[in-house]
Amino acid sequence: MAWHAMSELSAPITAKVLIEQVRSTFGALPDVRKGGPNQRYALQDAALSAFAVFFTQSPSFLDYQVRMQKDKGRNNASALFGVHQIPSDAQIRNLLDPVNPGQLEPLFIDTVELMHRQGQLQTHRALGGLLIALDGTQYFSSTALGCPSCSSRVLRNGQTEHFHVALTPVVVAPGQAAVFPLPPAFVVPQDGQAKQDCELAVGARWLAQWAPRVAQWGALTFLGDDLYCHQPFCQQVLAQGCDFLFTCLPASHATLYEWVSDLERSGAIASVTHTRWTGKQRLTDTYRFASDLPLRDTYDALLVHWCEMTTTDAKGKVLYRNAWATSHTITAHNVIDVAQAARSRWKIENENNNTLKTKGYHFEHNFGHGKQHLSSLLASMMMLAYLMHTVLDLLDQRYRAVRAQLPSRVTFFEHLRALAQYLPFEGWDALFDFMLEGLKPVPRKAKTRINTGFG
């Protein structure tokens, strides 16, 4: 059943429903095998088996399910993920290596669109629409392994290091911990290009492919570090009918800051001051802003709006300072909102990339590099698992109830791993019901008074 049909029917979104969408997508993956004895295992089973490892955050999940099948005649890879036959690790890698990670991109879009249709993106609206943070992150490096999709660099010791970089666009919002990953894009060598691919080029390709679709959910403002505050990229954002709000540093924007200095000398820089109490100390935020400054020193320079935020303590010590260039008009009424939106860019690192690397998804672990697309495909599956977990946190009532009892992500997945490894379940509802029953508080027994006969 398509996402739009489920939304129209107001069907509850559960782990079973999300996994079924994953199964449907994996069932449509193109299989490059030409027939013969090498088709014992279905490509869908290989993809689901790999995804199950990341979804359960259990690198040993498949080994336990093979053992469970032998001992009990059933297993959770089948009951929870719909795997018919569990391939070996080597078979999974061989089967998945030819699969382009782009095949998974619609799953990301359709899942976040589901959140939009269910009204879950309302809490993530800022500056009149949605904020999408862009950032590139490295997830593999080796001097021994490489593939045609790798980037490379020569180290000081003369060795060539091969590595992969992913662009990880994420919907973020000030004051919201949840982030929603959008389709990743990968830095890969491009046919007919002499130079290596780069993060900006990948960002431009992503804009052209996905900005029109995502813009159907509302006006878009793209956030990024100083790398993105580059006139050609800013113009590409504007060409998609979107806005930008990028970090703007003096070292890389000399012309713009010359104008800022001239305005400072003439007293033409506007400012707003806001004092707040953190619970421990009183801080002062000073916002300065100016309009129509040239982004570069050329006759066709793009004119941008600029703002700066400086935070000081009661003694005047500077605790934070940053500045941004944007296509949004800045006034005394919205400068604080603009700065808060810009600062939420850090959520792509803290809530997304860091979570993938340190919170059980093993984003930087080499589960298999392959010769074609394997490394990028597995990285996409990890990000997809994280997105699914985020959706379940918001929409699956059983999942939410278990997380309420086990709010620590680490503890939740410890319980999930242990149960899925040792006990077979009929499905996700049965698993979560079992967890909820086991997590019920034990009622305290009433004390029994013993009559000693002494009154």
User: Has residue 453 been placed in a domain?
Assistant: no
User: Are residues 334 and 269 part of one domain?
Assistant: yes
Question: CA 50, 52, 54: angle at the middle one, nearest 5?
Answer: 80
User: Has residue 175 been placed in a domain?
Assistant: yes
* Beta pairing partners, 219: 129
Question: What local confidence, expressed as pLDDT, does residue 453 receive?
Answer: 46
User: Has residue 301 been placed in a domain?
Assistant: yes
User: Are residues 264 and 151 part of one domain?
Assistant: yes
Q: Is the CB of residue 338 less than 8 Å from the CB of residue 330? A: yes
Query: What residue ranges in 119-226 does DSSP mark as E strands?
Result: 125-126, 129-133, 136-142, 151-154, 160-167, 170-172, 180-181, 185-186, 219-224
- H/E element holding 336? helix 335-343
Residue 324 is part of which domain span?
A: 99-395
Question: CA 222, 338, 294: angle at the middle one, nearest 5?
Answer: 70
Question: What local confidence, expressed as pLDDT, does residue 326 receive?
Answer: 98
User: Has residue 452 been placed in a domain?
Assistant: no
Examine the fold and report which residue of 365, 395, 425 is the final residue of a domain before the chain moves on: 395
User: Are residues 380 and 299 part of one domain?
Assistant: yes
User: Are residues 111 and 55 part of one domain?
Assistant: no
User: Has residue 238 been placed in a domain?
Assistant: yes
User: Are residues 386 and 429 part of one domain?
Assistant: no
What is the three-class DSSP state of 32? coil
User: Are residues 104 and 34 part of one domain?
Assistant: no
User: Has residue 445 been placed in a domain?
Assistant: no
User: Are residues 197 and 67 part of one domain?
Assistant: no
User: Are residues 189 and 54 part of one domain?
Assistant: no
User: Has residue 306 been placed in a domain?
Assistant: yes
User: Are residues 336 and 214 part of one domain?
Assistant: yes
Question: What local confidence, expressed as pLDDT, does residue 6 receive?
Answer: 45
User: Are residues 327 and 233 part of one domain?
Assistant: yes
Alpha-carbon span 380 to 106, nearest angstrom:
12
User: Are residues 209 and 327 part of one domain?
Assistant: yes
Q: Is the CB of residue 101 less than 8 Å from the CB of residue 380? A: yes
Question: What local confidence, expressed as pLDDT, does residue 94 receive?
Answer: 93
Alpha-carbon span 287 to 128, nearest angstrom:
20
The token pair at 16 is 């079973």
Question: What local confidence, expressed as pLDDT, does residue 127 receive?
Answer: 96
**Measured torsion, CA atoms of residues 126, 132, 135, 137, in degrees rounded to the nearest 10:** 110
- Which amino acid is residue 127, in one-letter code? L
What is the CB neighbour count within 10 angstroms for residue 440? 8
Question: What local confidence, expressed as pLDDT, does residue 37 receive?
Answer: 53
Could you read off the pLDDT tens digit of each residue along the chain, which spans 455 residues? Answer: 345 444 443 568 899 999 999 999 999 999 888 765 557 889 999 999 999 999 999 999 999 999 999 999 999 999 999 999 999 999 999 999 999 999 999 999 999 999 999 899 999 999 999 999 999 988 887 888 888 778 788 888 888 888 888 999 999 999 999 999 999 999 887 644 555 678 899 999 999 999 999 999 999 999 999 999 999 999 999 999 999 999 999 999 999 999 999 999 999 999 999 999 999 999 999 999 999 999 999 999 999 999 999 999 999 999 999 999 999 999 999 999 999 999 999 998 888 888 888 888 887 777 888 888 999 999 999 999 999 999 999 999 999 999 999 999 999 999 999 999 999 999 999 999 999 999 987 776 655 555 544 44
For position 329, which CATH number holds?
Answer: 3.90.350.10
**Burial bucket for residue 29 (CB in 10 Å: 0-12, 13-18, 19+):** buried
In the block, tokens 């490509």 appear at: 43
User: Are residues 44 and 161 part of one domain?
Assistant: no
Examine the fold and report which residue of 395, 422, 450 is the final residue of a domain before the chain moves on: 395
Question: What local confidence, expressed as pLDDT, does residue 190 receive?
Answer: 60
Question: What local confidence, expressed as pLDDT, does residue 152 receive?
Answer: 80
User: Has residue 307 been placed in a domain?
Assistant: yes
- Number of compact structural domains in the chain: 2
